[in-house]
């Protein structure tokens, strides 16, 4: 299992919800980077593939107090008792101990979707259709990422292709450590408001590890005890309270998915 | 026409009647094959499942038919291991029903997964921590066991038994049946349990999740016991159905009462344990994860009435009926209670699969609904049609109920008595004492 | 998982899990192999006929499996569990010792000719000792009458071996084939034909122990009475409301009288073949 040499990283993210304006740039960048096929006409919100999905939640107040927040939701890279990993019958989900990234091996995936029922963040997507690209789009496919076939599950892996490229580059330069500037996931890179901070949570000097410990940073469903590595940050109290709330109350207060 | 294939001395309907009976099922089977073809060849978008509702009616029905098919292992266990000889009357039927349920469930699973051709991966690099791995191993092994148990029934067919090797092999295999029954019990115990554990381990679904070792008593053992309660009831109901359709007596009333008693005994244990589990879950497990249990029942369609129905109406009440020897005497109550037991187990499996997935987890999630597409329903109807056909053919060409011949002789005795009396002819022998004799056999435990 | 799979590593969990399941798989395979081996052994040891009979015997209805000591009135109620082979029965010698009644000799039983110097097998064959020490074997009157007129009878060739409860004869009718059980162990030395009658002459293997398991004396009339009952019940089951006594006289050719009856089923019942 130990394939890496050198110190252990724990990659994570902090998303500043106050900076996110819901432009969706990250969603598009993610899909292009990871060769996610374009949606077909017959797809809908629940069966299309969006590794990174943005939800809008409102505080449900009357004008002028009404406010809403955009929540980018994707694989939260659970560190402990990773729910999807323990349930997969044929080891198609693995957590890389050297990076902490929860990976999906589509070549091994049976498509039983047990991992999807196990994931509380609904961050896993099944290929209900055969992937289809138009001729022109085929030219733009990312050669570093293998497209997936019909009948397998896929999800965000912190742009594994980019990590791989960074490692190759480091190796070519004779280094065992990658340059942090070489490994930045597509969503982080594409965000016009710089709402997403990415890096090694184990390295106490990085922005991301400092932000993850800051006062108004929280995680969704942290009570489940899975130690997700994606943090959210907001200075607005109602957003933080909303994130802590459980089902019914939030439902009654009218938050929309 | 096919007389040479029908067991000697058993009355079966004419070949043309039989053809009329199977044609609708073949039609249904064809529809199912078309739906399966669509799902396998074009993709699972033919279903109404989606990324949020990743398990649908198929998984629910798989769990249900496997629970109902538990009669095969539990009857085998009682007959071959605990030597309850009265169950010999239904063991063949139980094996066929088990075979239908398990092979049907595995077939539907093969359609349900996205890449069925990769199923062998599970045996090649299994994740031994996954409940699903255990289910896959056990189901495969147990299906093999059921097929081997089915072989003697087929080899006893009138023409096949003419081949001495077949009959001797059948005889020798039958002598080894306790070994297979033991293995079947072991395997069933584990996969019935693991099917429950499948949901108990879902940390991300607080509605189903049971903590740490709690997974075992709360989901694993509850599923085993409930399956053992449902199995005998289902055999009771199917045998009654076959009796009604063929208008024949197939087993003695004692067998029904015994099955009911077994079902009731298992069910009362189940209801008790389920109640304890529910109380622990409401008061400790669920709030511990930050989800007060009552919130799961806040939506109208999945209110707490489901819990009440499951435990009291479809659990406690049939259990009490089946445990009372006086109430078991009443055929309507006996079969009614059996029906309630089976419905209760269906409801439990429904709650575990569909309700678990319908409930939101994230604070901004919606309560989800899902209704199956025609392809999903047709695939399930395929299993029913396939089961009906396999059962009909086995019933026609093999001996499913060893008591049938004896019971028809009993009826024959009664009608010959009537005839003798009506014709008022004095016969030189007295058939009376043999009637007493048959009655003695009918009431004695064989 | 396995040593030759990428990222292989063993844990205690793997070892337990895989051991259990491969043991189970091995046990299932071993069970089938054992059954196949036993079948082959039965073939080599020529015990297949006796196993076939035991299989038939297990399927007999309880009314057909009554012990001969119940027929003779020695015991109130007893079922045979030895496949009608009293030679291997442990209870039989005890009950014979208890026997107090003197055997009653009767030539006619309910209109059937059952000569008392013959011994009878439950599959409706009689055995008669000849002066030369051989044994003559044939179908009894009851059997002959329910078979009616066969279109062919297959007798084992001269020199072939017979064994108790193995196949003795094969009788073919247009509506049923029936095998008739051999009453004794031995070698066929002569057989009859359609003119001389269907009989076999047999040189017994073990002359001292030929007759132990055959019915004799007052067992015979009681046995025939019960067979009549079974026959009548079989008729009624197959949808023919027949009464076998026709104004007090017994019907001589059942087939001519009841052509619509399920003769296949009736003959199977009466000749103990499932």
- Which tens digit of pLDDT belongs to each residue from A72-84? 999 999 998 899 9
Highest mean pLDDT, choosing among B95-104, B405-414, C147-156, C265-274: B95-104
Binding partners of C (≥3 Cβ pairs within 8 A): A, B
pLDDT range class, residue C251, cuts 50, 70, 90: low
Domains in chain B (CATH in brackets) are: 3-401 (1.20.1630.10), 405-446 (no CATH)
Task: Provide the pLDDT for residue A173.
Answer: 93
Residue B290 has pLDDT above 90, yes or no: no
pLDDT range class, residue A1, cuts 50, 70, 90: very low
Comparing A61-65, A89-93, B8-12, B211-215, the range with the smallest average pLDDT is B211-215
**A34-43: average pLDDT:** 92
Task: Provide the pLDDT for residue C103.
Answer: 63
Q: Are C265 and B416 inside 8 Å of each other by CB?
A: no
pLDDT range class, residue A239, cuts 50, 70, 90: very high
pLDDT cut 70: percent of chain C above it: 89
Place of tokens 């097998």: C121
Position with higher pLDDT, B384 vs A247 = B384
**B77-91: average pLDDT:** 93
How does pLDDT run across B291-310, given as a tens digit for each residue? 788 878 877 677 888 899 99
Position with higher pLDDT, A68 vs C208 = A68
How does pLDDT run across B319-375, given as a tens digit for each residue? 999 999 999 999 999 999 999 999 999 999 999 999 888 888 888 888 888 899 999
Residue A166, Cα to own-chain centre: how many angstroms?
19
Task: Provide the pLDDT for residue B269.
Answer: 95
Task: Provide the pLDDT for residue C17.
Answer: 84
How does pLDDT run across C27-72, given as a tens digit for each residue? 999 999 999 999 999 999 888 888 889 888 988 888 888 898 888 8
Residue C247 has pLDDT above 90, yes or no: no
In whole angstroms, give the CA distance from residue C244 to residue C4: 77
Task: Provide the pLDDT for residue B444.
Answer: 43
pLDDT cut 90: percent of chain C above it: 20
How many C-beta atoms lie closer than 10 Å to residue B17's C-beta? 10
Residues of A in contact with C9 (CB under 8 A): 1
Is the Cβ–Cβ distance between B379 and B35 less than 8 Å?
Answer: yes
pLDDT range class, residue C220, cuts 50, 70, 90: confident
CATH fold of C59-270 reads: OB fold (Dihydrolipoamide Acetyltransferase, E2P) (2.40.50)
| Helices B222-246 and B57-68, axial angle in degrees (round to 10) | 80
In whole angstroms, give the CA distance from residue B217 to residue B223: 9
What distances in angstroms separate CA C65 from CA B416, C146, C185, one per listed residue? 21, 20, 22
In whole angstroms, give the CA distance from residue C5 to residue A9: 27
Residue A32, Cα to own-chain centre: how many angstroms?
15
Position with higher pLDDT, B420 vs C29 = C29
Tokens of residue B171, six digits: 């005889």
In B, minimum Cα distance to C240 occurs at: B416
pLDDT cut 90: percent of chain B above it: 63
**CA B195, B198, B201: angle at the middle one, nearest 5?**
145
Burial class (CB in 10 A: 0-12, 13-18, 19+), A254: exposed
Task: Provide the pLDDT for residue A254.
Answer: 42
Task: Provide the pLDDT for residue A36.
Answer: 94
Task: Provide the pLDDT for residue A223.
Answer: 85
- ipTM for this model: 0.88
Residue B8 has pLDDT above 50, yes or no: yes
**B207-222: average pLDDT:** 80
Task: Provide the pLDDT for residue C100.
Answer: 65
**C211-222: average pLDDT:** 85
Residues of C in contact with B148 (CB under 8 A): 28, 31-32
Residues of A in contact with B45 (CB under 8 A): 42, 47, 128-129
| Helices B432-443 and C219-237, axial angle in degrees (round to 10) | 80
What distances in angstroms separate CA C119 from CA A59, C71, C161, one per listed residue? 102, 15, 20
Residues of C in contact with A91 (CB under 8 A): 1
Is the Cβ–Cβ distance between B176 and C34 less than 8 Å?
Answer: yes
A125 touches chain B (CB under 8 A): yes
Place of tokens 């080894």: B176
**B20-24: average pLDDT:** 96
Task: Provide the pLDDT for residue C107.
Answer: 77
How, if at all, do strands A11-16 and A230-233 pair? parallel
pLDDT range class, residue A2, cuts 50, 70, 90: very low
Which of B425, B429, B441 lies nearest to residue C228, judging by beta carbons? B429
Task: Provide the pLDDT for residue B75.
Answer: 94
pLDDT range class, residue A246, cuts 50, 70, 90: low
How does pLDDT run across B110-127, given as a tens digit for each residue? 999 999 999 998 888 888
Domain A11-252, CATH class in plain words: alpha beta
Is the Cβ–Cβ distance between A149 and A158 less than 8 Å?
Answer: no
**C215-236: average pLDDT:** 84
Residue A128 has pLDDT above 70, yes or no: yes
Residue B446 has pLDDT above 50, yes or no: no
How does pLDDT run across C96-142, given as a tens digit for each residue? 887 766 566 677 877 788 888 889 999 999 999 889 889 999 999 88
Residues of A with CB under 8 A from a CB of C: 1, 91
Binding partners of B (≥3 Cβ pairs within 8 A): A, C
Task: Provide the pLDDT for residue A99.
Answer: 92
Comparing A38-52, A241-255, C101-115, the range with the smallest average pLDDT is A241-255
Phi, psi of C16 (to 5 degrees): -60, -50
Residues of C in contact with B404 (CB under 8 A): none
Domain ranges of chain A: 11-252
Query: In chain A, which among 10-69 make CB contacts under 8 A with chain B?
Result: 42, 44, 46-47, 49, 55, 57
**C84-106: average pLDDT:** 79
pLDDT range class, residue A244, cuts 50, 70, 90: confident
């Amino acid at each position: 299992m130990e394939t890496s040499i050198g110190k252990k990283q724990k990659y994570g993210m902090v998303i500043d919800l106050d900076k996110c304006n819901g432009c969706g740039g990250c969603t598009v960048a993610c899909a292009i980077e990871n060769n996610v096929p374009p949606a077909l006409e017959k797809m809908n919100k629940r069966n299309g593939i969006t590794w990174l999905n943005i939800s809008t939640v409102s505080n449900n107040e009357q004008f002028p107090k009404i406010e809403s927040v955009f929540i980018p939701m994707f694989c939260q890279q659970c560190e402990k008792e990773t729910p999807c990993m323990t349930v997969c019958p044929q080891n198609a989900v693995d957590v890389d101990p050297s990076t902490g990234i929860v990976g999906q091996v589509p070549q091994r995936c049976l498509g039983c979707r047990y991992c999807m029922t196990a994931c509380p963040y609904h961050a896993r997507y099944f290929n209900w259709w055969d992937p289809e690209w138009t001729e022109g789009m085929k030219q733009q496919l990312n050669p570093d990422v293998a497209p997936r076939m019909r009948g397998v599950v896929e999800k965000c892996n912190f742009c594994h292709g980019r990590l791989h490229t960074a490692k190759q580059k480091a190796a070519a330069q004779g280094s065992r450590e990658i340059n942090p500037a070489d490994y930045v996931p597509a969503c982080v890179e594409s965000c016009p408001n710089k709402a997403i901070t990415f890096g090694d949570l184990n390295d106490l000097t990085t922005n991301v590890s400092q932000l993850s410990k800051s006062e108004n940073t929280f995680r969704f469903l942290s009570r489940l005890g899975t130690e997700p590595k994606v943090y959210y940050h907001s200075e607005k109290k109602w957003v933080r309270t909303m994130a802590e709330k459980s089902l019914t109350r939030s439902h009654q207060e009218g938050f929309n998915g | 026409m096919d007389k040479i294939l029908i067991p000697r001395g058993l009355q079966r309907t004419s070949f043309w009647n039989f053809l009329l009976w199977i044609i609708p099922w073949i039609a249904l089977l064809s529809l199912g094959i078309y739906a399966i073809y669509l799902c396998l060849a074009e993709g699972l978008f033919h279903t109404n499942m989606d990324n949020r509702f990743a398990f649908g009616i198929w998984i629910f029905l798989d769990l249900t038919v496997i629970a109902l098919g538990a009669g095969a292992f539990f009857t085998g266990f009682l007959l071959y291991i605990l030597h309850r000889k009265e169950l010999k009357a239904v063991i063949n039927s139980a094996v066929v029903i088990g075979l239908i349920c398990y092979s049907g469930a595995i077939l539907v699973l093969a359609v349900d997964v996205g890449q069925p051709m990769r199923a062998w991966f599970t045996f090649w690099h299994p994740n031994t921590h996954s409940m699903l791995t255990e289910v896959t191993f056990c189901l495969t092994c147990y299906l093999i066991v059921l097929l081997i148990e089915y072989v003697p029934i087929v080899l006893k067919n009138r023409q096949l038994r003419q081949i001495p090797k077949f009959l001797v092999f059948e005889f020798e295999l039958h002598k080894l049946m306790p070994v297979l029954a033991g293995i079947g019990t072991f395997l069933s115990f584990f996969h019935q349990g693991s099917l429950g554990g499948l949901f108990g381990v879902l940390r991300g679904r607080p509605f189903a999740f049971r903590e740490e070792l709690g997974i075992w008593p709360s989901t694993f053992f509850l599923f085993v016991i409930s399956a053992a309660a449902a199995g005998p009831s289902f055999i009771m109901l199917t045998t009654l159905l076959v009796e009604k359709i063929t208008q024949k007596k197939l087993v003695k009333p004692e067998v029904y009462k015994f099955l009911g008693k077994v079902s009731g005994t298992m069910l009362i244990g189940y209801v008790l344990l389920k109640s304890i589990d529910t109380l622990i879950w409401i008061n400790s497990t669920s709030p511990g994860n930050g989800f007060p249990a009552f919130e799961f029942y806040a939506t109208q369609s999945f209110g707490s009435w489901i819990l009440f129905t499951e435990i009291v109406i479809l659990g406690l009440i049939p259990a009490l009926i089946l445990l009372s020897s006086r109430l078991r005497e009443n055929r309507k109550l006996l079969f009614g209670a059996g029906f309630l037991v089976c419905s209760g187990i269906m409801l439990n499996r429904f709650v575990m699969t569909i309700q678990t997935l319908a409930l939101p987890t994230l604070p901004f999630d919606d309560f989800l609904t899902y209704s199956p597409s025609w392809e999903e329903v047709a695939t399930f109807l395929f299993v029913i049609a396939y089961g009906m056909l396999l059962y009909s053919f086995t019933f026609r060409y093999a001996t499913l109920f060893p008591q049938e011949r004896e019971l028809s002789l009993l009826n024959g005795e009664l009608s010959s008595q009537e005839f003798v009396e009506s014709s008022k002819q004095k016969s030189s022998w007295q058939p009376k004492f043999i009637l007493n004799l048959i009655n003695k056999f009918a009431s004695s435990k064989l | 998982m396995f040593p030759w799979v990428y990222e292989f590593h063993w844990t205690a969990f793997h070892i337990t899990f895989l051991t259990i399941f491969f043991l189970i798989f091995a046990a299932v395979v071993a069970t089938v192999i054992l059954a196949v081996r036993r079948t082959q052994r039965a073939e080599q040891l020529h015990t297949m006929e006796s196993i076939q009979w035991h299989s038939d015997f297990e399927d007999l209805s309880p009314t057909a499996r009554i012990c001969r000591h119940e027929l003779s009135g020695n015991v109130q109620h007893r079922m045979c569990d030895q496949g009608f082979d009293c030679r291997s029965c442990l209870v039989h010698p005890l009950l014979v010792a208890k026997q107090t009644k003197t055997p009653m000799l009767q030539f006619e039983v309910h209109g059937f000719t059952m000569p008392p110097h013959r011994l009878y097998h439950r599959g409706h064959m009689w055995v008669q000792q000849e002066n030369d020490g051989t044994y003559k074997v044939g179908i009894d009157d009851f059997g002959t009458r329910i078979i009616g007129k066969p279109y062919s009878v297959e007798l084992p060739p001269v020199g072939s071996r017979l064994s108790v409860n193995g196949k003795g004869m094969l009788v073919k009718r247009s509506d049923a084939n029936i095998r008739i059980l051999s009453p004794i162990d031995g070698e066929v030395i002569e057989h009859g034909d359609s003119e001389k009658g269907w009989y076999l002459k047999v040189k017994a293997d073990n002359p001292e122990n030929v007759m132990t398991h055959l019915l004799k004396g007052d067992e015979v009339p009681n046995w025939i009475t019960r067979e009549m009952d079974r026959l009548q019940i079989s008729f009624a089951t197959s949808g023919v409301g027949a009464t076998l006594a026709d104004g007090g006289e017994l019907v001589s050719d059942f087939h001519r009288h009841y052509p619509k009856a399920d003769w296949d089923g009736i003959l199977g019942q009466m000749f103990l073949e499932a």
